[in-house]
Structure 1
């Protein structure tokens, strides 16, 4: 059974995206209903927002490897993004997928797709687990 995480951070409240964790496939999803607030001056999804969605889905996917609730913190070490097509208004969803790594470092890829199936962007990244004692 999946769980929705919304309004957890200032960024989530500002942009309006939702993180979905708890899927049996171990992949977290991050979705956003794109409207005019999320578009760039060319009237397509801003690349920074597309990147943020894939980064968030990837971090939550890493988190699920140690915490099914998706709340264990993982930080981005590096993230490479490839833009494939222009993002249009409507729902877009980023899905993270573990591609390798060990206990504290994970290699995670993500895809961002429009609700019509169009692949908007892909990413590959390195994510690091943050030890609990570092959070205090």
Structure 2
């Protein structure tokens, strides 16, 4: 198991819906997170291109991560999505997509993030913007136990 996975998930597989999506954490640091997804038939809509719900879900995850980095192994910070806007700008049906989120502003409990989804050719597939609220116990850098 990679050192990166041990740090991010405490050595555990992704839980619940995250596992269903099947993404891979590329990087996660203060104010920025990056995930990738190798597209499979289960990620496509009836038209044979990536489903908008998959793009929106990945943006929701990475935008929340951008404001909840926790540098302490075995611990995490949590946030609740207050609003999320997705704008679809392109389509793809295969390859690997990369989703990047950046925290833009915020206080001790509420923060805003923006993000983008690109295919492996660099084409922009979607843009997202979200507002999140830090959950109780997650407002400090040490967060809560995983």
Range into which the TM-score falls when normalised by the shorter chain = 0.7 to 0.9
Counterpart Cα distance in 2 of 1:26 and 1:110: 11
Q: Is 1:97 matched with 2:98? A: no
CA offsets 1:77-133 (integer angstroms, 9 cap, x no match): 100000000133111111111111111111100101111101000011101100128
The Cα of 1:71 is off from its aligned counterpart by: 2.4
Of the three residues 63, 69, 78, the one matched with 1:73 is 78
CA offsets 1:44-81 (integer angstroms, 9 cap, x no match): 000000001111111111101xx236820011110000
Instruction: Give the TM-score, by structure 2 length.
Output: 0.80
Counterpart Cα distance in 1 of 2:26 and 2:81: 19
Gaps spanning 5+ residues in structure 1: where? none
Q: 1:40-59 counterparts in 2 under 5 A?
A: 40-59=45-64
Q: 1:1-136 counterparts in 2 under 5 A?
A: 3-4=4-5, 5=8, 7-23=13-29, 26-64=31-69, 67-68=70-71, 71-132=76-137
Confirm or deny: 8 A CA contact 2:28 2:65 kept in the other structure: no
Gaps spanning 5+ residues in structure 2: where? 139-143
Instruction: Give the TM-score, by structure 1 length.
Output: 0.85
Shifted more, 77-86 versus 93-102: the winner is 93-102
How many residues align? The count is 130
Confirm or deny: 8 A CA contact 1:31 1:94 kept in the other structure: yes
1:131 aligned counterpart, secondary structure = coil
Structure showing greater Rg: 2
